[in-house]
């Protein structure tokens, strides 16, 4: 008997999975369940000489690890998703301390995600620098 392929998650299923896991702080599990190995992650800006985009799951995990190591999260609020075709949008509102400078601040950003073959292949973050 042939093995049945698991059907790909729809954009809405991916969006709901990501949103639920992120809202309880399970960022790693969110990444494992929803990100393609070929994910491209685009920031609103980058330090001089650095790139706005991280390409591939290894580069994106490294960026996430840097962020997690350097920030203490006091509270996180995730709103959305708004789903349209292969894309969806979410907002993140974070109250964090940047540990190297012991500087507490709030971050508010819109994130847009693109889904292909049941995985997130592109994400872009919109916030003021």
SS3 category, 128: coil
Q: How far apart are CA 72 and CA 90, in angstroms?
A: 21
For position 18 contacting a copy of itself by CB under 8 A, the verdict is: no
Q: How far apart are CA 89 and CA 79, in angstroms?
A: 9
Q: 58-97 mask for a copy of itself (x: CB under 8 A)?
A: ---------------------xx-xxxxxxxxxxxx----
Which one among 6, 75, 102, 128 touches a copy of itself, defined by CB under 8 A? Answer: 128
Which one among 33, 109, 118, 119 touches a copy of itself, defined by CB under 8 A? Answer: 109
Q: Which is nearer to a copy of itself, 61 or 110 (CB)?
A: 110
Q: Six-digit token pair at 39?
A: 């994910």
Dihedral class, residue 125 (left if φ above 0, else alpha if ψ from -120 to 50, else beta)? beta
- Positions in the binding site for a copy of itself (CB under 8 A): 79-80, 82-93, 108-110, 112, 114, 126-128
């Amino acid at each position: 008997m042939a093995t049945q392929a698991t059907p790909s998650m729809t954009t809405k299923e991916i969006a709901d999975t990501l949103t639920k896991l992120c809202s309880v702080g399970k960022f790693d599990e969110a990444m494992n369940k929803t990100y393609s190995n070929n994910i491209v992650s685009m920031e609103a800006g980058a330090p001089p000489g650095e790139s706005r985009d991280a390409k591939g799951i290894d580069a994106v995990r490294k960026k996430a690890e840097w962020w997690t190591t350097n920030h203490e999260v006091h509270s996180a609020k995730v709103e959305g998703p708004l789903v349209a075709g292969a894309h969806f949008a979410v907002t993140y509102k974070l109250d964090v301390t940047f540990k190297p400078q012991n500087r507490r601040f709030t971050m508010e950003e819109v994130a847009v995600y693109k889904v292909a073959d049941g995985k997130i292949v592109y994400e872009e973050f919109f916030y003021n620098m």
